């Protein structure tokens, strides 16, 4: 049975993941509108992944005797200056998500809820992977600056990340 404060913190994490999903959706749409097709495809897919992260929490809470609540979605900004601005927004958002995951880890430790602690480890690993990935994409974009050809190449590179992910998933692993 989940303690009430753990249940509340997990419900807050549901809202965080839902916000991330809709943030990515908006960013994907901006890229789509600006013809960054590779980045758009990658971010549409990532939006779905964030929804999956949210659903994992729903099932964990309800399976553990709690009540998962459908969250209110905070509005994301809709105007971006550049592809660099898009990925900077993502990177900063992921850092915040990592902080909220770490707070959950801390709470589980304090409450000696080792079952939820075990569950939340998946998010710890996921956040590490995402921060590394998005920082590396952001670094590449900043390297080319405003150069149109460079940005075109970066967009194609981002598209290859989708293909790599699909191949890893088909092979039965996470990517």
- Determine the Cα–Cα distance for residues 106 and 100; give it in Å rounded to an integer: 10
Burial (Cβ within 10 Å: 0-12, 13-18, ≥19) of residue 101: buried
Nearer to ligand OFO, 39 or 97 (CB): 97
Nearer to ligand OFO, 21 or 83 (CB): 21
- Return residues touching ligand OFO (CB under 6 A): 17, 20, 50, 53, 94, 97, 123, 126-127, 130
- Determine the Cα–Cα distance for residues 56 and 58; give it in Å rounded to an integer: 5
Nearer to ligand OFO, 7 or 21 (CB): 21
Minimum Å distance from CB 144 to ligand OFO? Answer: 25
- Determine the Cα–Cα distance for residues 167 and 3; give it in Å rounded to an integer: 40
**Closest residue to ligand OFO: CB criterion:** 53
Minimum Å distance from CB 128 to ligand OFO? Answer: 10
Minimum Å distance from CB 46 to ligand OFO? Answer: 8
Minimum Å distance from CB 146 to ligand OFO? Answer: 28
Residue 172 phi, psi dihedral angles, 5° rounding: 95, 5
Please report where in the chains the tokens 């965080």 appear, as a residue.
16
Nearer to ligand OFO, 30 or 134 (CB): 134
According to DSSP, residue 71 is labeled: P
């Amino acid at each position: 049975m989940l303690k009430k404060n753990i249940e509340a913190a997990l419900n807050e994490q549901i809202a965080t993941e839902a916000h991330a999903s809709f943030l990515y959706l908006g960013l994907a749409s901006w890229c789509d509108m600006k013809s960054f097709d590779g980045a758009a495809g990658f971010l549409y897919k990532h939006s779905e992944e964030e929804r999956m992260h949210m659903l994992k929490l729903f099932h964990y809470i309800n399976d553990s005797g709690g009540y998962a609540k459908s969250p209110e979605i905070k509005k994301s900004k809709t105007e971006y200056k550049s592809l660099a601005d898009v990925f900077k927004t993502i990177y900063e958002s992921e850092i915040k998500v990592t902080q909220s995951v770490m707070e959950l880890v801390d709470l589980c430790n304090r409450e000696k809820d080792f079952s939820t602690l075990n569950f939340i480890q998946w998010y710890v690993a996921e956040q590490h992977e995402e921060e590394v990935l998005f920082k590396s994409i952001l670094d590449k974009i900043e390297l080319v600056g405003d150069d149109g050809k460079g940005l075109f190449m970066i967009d194609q590179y981002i598209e290859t990340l989708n293909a790599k992910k699909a191949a890893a998933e088909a092979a039965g692993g996470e990517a």
